[in-house]
Amino acid sequence: MATRTSPSRTIEMRPVEHADQRFLEQLYASTRSTDQRMDGCDARTEALLVALQFRARQAQLRAVYPYGDIAVIFERDRPIGSLYVNYGADEIRILDISLLPEYRNRGIGQGLLRSLQAQGVRMRVPVRLDLLLSSPAYRLFQRCGFVLRGANGLHNSLEWSPPLLT
């Protein structure tokens, strides 16, 4: 699957493979903000704890969304991110969308969201996700037309609906 995000950039995706686990773990670690880091831990202990958090999160997502699709995002044959989506009968749920820090704020995430929105139009279902309250990606989702549907103290529930469903 290829997604064109600009005239000069093609982003490609493929299903995750076992060999991608190390990259996915490093990607997850790159998404941890300073307020999510473990103060007082040495680097090795922190890396171990982040790896455990990553595995626990993956296991939880697989348990709740056993048919979710996980893809590695590539630019010029280099892995730069991942996209985890569950396609349900009544929604497309974004479970995780992550890019390496040096690839953020370049329009890649917006291109991926626009692609998911186009799928929502074809399937006639909304696109939904839960986003950490402190996530800087909130502005991106707002720009793409997602609206706040609720909050639980940890996450904002966001939704975008195709024009026919509004």
Q: What is the pTM of this model?
A: 0.86
- The CA radius of gyration of the chain, in Å to the nearest whole number, is 16
Element (H, E) at 116: helix 108-123
Q: How many Cβ atoms from other residues are within 10 Å of residue 30's Cβ?
A: 15
Largest CA distance in the chain: 53
CB-neighbour burial class of residue 89 (10 A; exposed 0-12, middle 13-18, buried 19+): exposed
**Per-residue pLDDT of the chain in tens (166 residues, 90 and over written 9):** 555 444 456 899 999 999 999 999 999 999 876 545 556 678 788 888 888 999 999 999 999 999 999 999 999 999 999 999 999 999 999 999 999 999 999 999 999 999 999 999 999 999 999 999 888 899 999 999 999 999 998 999 999 999 875 5
